[in-house]
């Protein structure tokens, strides 16, 4: 039973529910330059740095489906965006073996920007009328910066959610 509770599924769902609740209740009142920071997107992008592209795509898709089920958005819209954000940050993170904190922050910011750019594109395809036009030049930098800043908290949190231990380097004794 103890091993069952340590699985990533049982860790991801409660953390995602708490962050989705914060995203829906608290964050609309905390606008930066008229843009609502996306903390759920930041968590999904941080999971790419913590767990790699495959785990992050799974993580982002599950969290995105949970977000879509709680909002009135088309089912799968945020699942695609969050999965892509995690995948992009995970793929970019592959270039470094053990990146510095500032490089990880940049990777999460890039993944967050790609994920946020995906939302209006998908909205356009489902004819939801979601293209932001001129405001996209304000939205993307704010989302990228907030995702980068939040990565300091969310990389360890997503590492815990995915049940990943931090890499330890051992010296070879001869």
Give 170's pLDDT tier (boundaries 50, 70, 90): low
State the residue range of the domain holding 30.
2-161
Looking at residue 68, its pLDDT comes to 87
Q: What is the pTM of this model?
A: 0.84
* Residue 63 belongs to a domain: yes
Q: How far is CA 69 from CA 17, 52, 78, 154, in A?
A: 11, 26, 10, 23
Looking at residue 129, its pLDDT comes to 63
Residues 6+ apart with CB under 8 A from 149: 105
Examine the pLDDT at 53 and tell me if it is beyond 70.
yes
47 against 7, higher pLDDT: 47
Summarize pLDDT for 66-84 with one digit per residue, the tens.
888 888 778 888 899 999 9
Looking at residue 69, its pLDDT comes to 87
Q: Which of 104-108, 125-129, 155-159 has the lowest mean pLDDT?
A: 125-129
Closest CA to 84 of 44, 138, 136: 44
Look at the chain and report how many structural domains it folds into. Answer: 1
Closest CA to 78 of 115, 131, 109: 115
Average pLDDT, the chain: 83
CATH code for the domain in which residue 83 is found: 1.10.1760
Looking at residue 128, its pLDDT comes to 60
Is the Cβ–Cβ distance between 60 and 90 less than 8 Å? no
DSSP tally for the chain: helices H, then strands E: 7, 0
Tokens for 100, please give them.
């510095």
* Residue 168 belongs to a domain: no
The mean pLDDT of 14-24, rounded to a whole number, is 88
* Residue 171 belongs to a domain: no
Closest CA to 81 of 119, 109, 35: 119
Give 123's pLDDT tier (boundaries 50, 70, 90): confident
* Residue 170 belongs to a domain: no
Rounded Cα gap, residues 127 and 77, in angstroms: 12
* Residue 122 belongs to a domain: yes
Looking at residue 130, its pLDDT comes to 59
Examine the pLDDT at 166 and tell me if it is beyond 70.
no
Rounded Cα gap, residues 146 and 140, in angstroms: 10
CA angle, corner 15, sides to 11 and 20, nearest 5? Answer: 145
């Amino acid at each position: 039973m103890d091993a069952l509770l340590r699985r990533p599924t049982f860790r991801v769902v409660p953390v995602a529910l708490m962050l989705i609740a914060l995203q829906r209740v608290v964050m609309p009142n905390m606008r930066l330059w008229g843009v609502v920071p996306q903390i759920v997107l930041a968590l999904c992008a941080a999971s790419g740095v913590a767990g790699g592209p495959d785990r992050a795509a799974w993580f982002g898709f599950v969290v995105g489906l949970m977000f879509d089920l709680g909002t009135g958005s088309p089912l799968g819209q945020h699942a695609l965006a969050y999965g892509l954000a995690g995948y992009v940050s995970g793929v970019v993170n592959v270039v470094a073996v053990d990146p510095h904190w500032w490089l990880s922050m940049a990777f999460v910011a890039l993944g967050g920007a790609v994920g946020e750019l995906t939302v209006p594109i998908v909205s356009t395809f489902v004819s939801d009328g979601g293209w932001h036009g001129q405001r996209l030049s304000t939205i993307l930098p704010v989302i990228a910066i907030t995702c980068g800043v939040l990565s300091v908290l969310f990389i360890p949190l997503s590492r815990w959610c995915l049940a990943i231990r931090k890499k330890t380097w051992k010296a070879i004794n001869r």
